[in-house]
């Protein structure tokens, strides 16, 4: 018998070009390949083109976010309040199919007594930890205040998860957190991403690469950290992003071997990852699982991370681990002297992230 699933999504997942929506898009694609009938409820703001998404679902409902400044004055977190919709509740009840809420921020109707369906929540982060991390990384006083208040609201709001039937976590650390704080059933479902096999090429590159969304405070802070790492090395470093903030371009300007590069499109980013000798990754926030790790391991050569990037022991064993400036420098120097070969341990560790296998696990959780 064909299964049907409703999914409430915090943003339009097409194109799948940033962390959270990558997990959502490739989950949808894998479920559709298994023959699951999909009813999507999508909140949006700037990403308002849905033609590409329509081919992956049977029914599509869209809801424009209310991003009015007044939403900040609600007792609800802004990320939740701006995604509130009575229309959503009505349209969810057009079907008795189970409901998957993508992220805590899409759960504005989770506590409604009108919802009788099975309710699952995909926890993309411990959201108040994530906002607190943004508070610590932000440089602007207004931003710091906003992130701090949002973190407090998210911590208070998180108890709404008691109304879920299943919480789907995406890391070992977060699985333990939700098990300790809620009686709701918690299932560890690994992150969905694009690849089903390793396409890295053996050989050597000539530079190290850091890439990311450089409008996010933690990524900016990480990029500045890596500039400090390479400031005392001779190896070339490229900092890549679709937008490069002044704080990074100014710091890079004092070095000939460190440069910034604007990412033109996905194929350009893929080329940068593929040709880099080292993909350098770092985060000051222990939250979720960073998809950049998988992009680097499936497509790139050597990969250096710190423990905040991911807590899967098998994936960490495929990477070089460095936490401090000095240990990072030592590791960079060593890897630039090391030819890259695809290790069988990398191939084996990444097999458990095959999207189709993860989709089968998810289907088992659905009534």
Same domain, 262 and 179: no
Indicate whether 180 and 226 sit together in one domain. Answer: no
294 and 215 both lie in a single domain:
yes
Does residue 360 lie within any of the structural domains? yes
Looking up residue 133, the CATH number of its domain turns out to be: 3.40.50.2000
Is the link from the previous residue into 15 a cis peptide, with omega within 30 of 0?
Answer: yes
Residues 6+ apart with CB under 8 A from 326: none
Same domain, 170 and 301: no
Is the pLDDT at 175 greater than 90? The verdict is: yes
Shared-domain flag, residues 278 and 184: no
Same domain, yes or no: 338 and 361: no
Q: Are residues 12 and 122 in the same domain?
A: yes
Let me know whether 161 and 309 are in one domain.
Answer: no
Take residue 213 and report the two structure tokens written for it. Answer: 């969304």
What is the C-alpha to C-alpha distance for residues 364 and 367, in angstroms, rounded to an integer? 8
* Closest to 7 (Cα-Cα) out of 171, 168, 170: 168
Question: In this predicted model, what pLDDT tens digit does every residue of 65-117 receive, in sequence order?
Answer: 999 999 999 999 999 999 999 999 999 999 999 999 999 999 999 999 999 99
DSSP class of residue 192 equals P
How many independent structural domains does the chain possess? 2
Domain range for 181 is 4-190+355-365
Domain assignment present for residue 28? The answer is yes
pLDDT reading at 301 higher than 70: yes
Are residues 89 and 15 part of one domain?
yes
195 within a domain of the structure (yes/no): no
Residues 273 and 219 in one domain: yes
Same domain? For 86 and 179 the reply is: yes
**Segment 128-139, tens digit of pLDDT:** 988 888 888 777
Tokens, residue 53: 């998404």
Same domain, residue pair 181 and 38:
yes
């Amino acid at each position: 018998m064909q299964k049907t699933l409703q999914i409430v999504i915090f943003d339009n997942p097409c194109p799948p070009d940033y962390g959270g929506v990558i997990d959502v898009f490739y989950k949808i694609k894998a479920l559709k390949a298994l023959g699951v009938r999909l009813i999507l409820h999508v909140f949006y703001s700037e990403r308002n083109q849905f033609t590409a998404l329509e081919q992956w679902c049977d029914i599509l409902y869209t809801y424009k976010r209310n991003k009015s400044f007044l939403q900040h004055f609600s007792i609800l977190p802004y990320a939740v309040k701006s995604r509130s919709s009575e229309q959503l509740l009505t349209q969810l009840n057009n079907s008795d199919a189970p409901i998957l809420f993508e992220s805590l921020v899409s759960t504005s109707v989770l506590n409604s007594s009108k919802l009788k369906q099975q309710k699952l929540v995909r926890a993309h982060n411990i959201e108040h930890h994530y906002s607190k991390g943004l508070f610590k990384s932000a440089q602007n006083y207004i931003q710091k205040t906003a992130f701090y208040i949002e973190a407090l609201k998210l911590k208070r709001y998180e108890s709404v998860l008691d109304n879920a039937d299943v919480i789907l976590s995406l890391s070992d650390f977060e699985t333990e957190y939700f098990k300790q704080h809620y009686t709701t059933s918690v299932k560890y479902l690994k992150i969905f991403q694009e690849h089903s096999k390793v396409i890295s090429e053996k050989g050597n590159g000539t530079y190290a690469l850091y890439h990311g969304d450089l409008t996010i405070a933690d990524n900016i802070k990480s990029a500045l950290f890596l500039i400090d790492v390479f400031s005392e090395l001779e190896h070339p470093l490229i900092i890549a992003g679709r937008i490069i903030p002044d704080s990074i371009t100014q710091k890079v300007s004092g070095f000939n071997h460190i440069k910034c590069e604007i990412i033109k499109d996905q194929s350009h980013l893929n080329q940068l990852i593929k040709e880099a000798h080292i993909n350098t990754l770092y985060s000051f926030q222990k939250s979720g699982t960073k998809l950049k790790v998988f992009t680097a391991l499936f497509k790139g050569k050597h990969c250096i991370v710190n423990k905040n990037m991911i807590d899967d022991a098998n994936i960490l064993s495929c990477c070089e681990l460095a936490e401090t400036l000095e240990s990072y420098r030592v590791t960079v120097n060593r890897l630039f002297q090391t030819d890259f070969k695809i290790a069988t341990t990398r191939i084996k560790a990444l097999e458990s992230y095959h999207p189709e296998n993860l989709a089968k696990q998810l289907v088992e959780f659905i009534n």
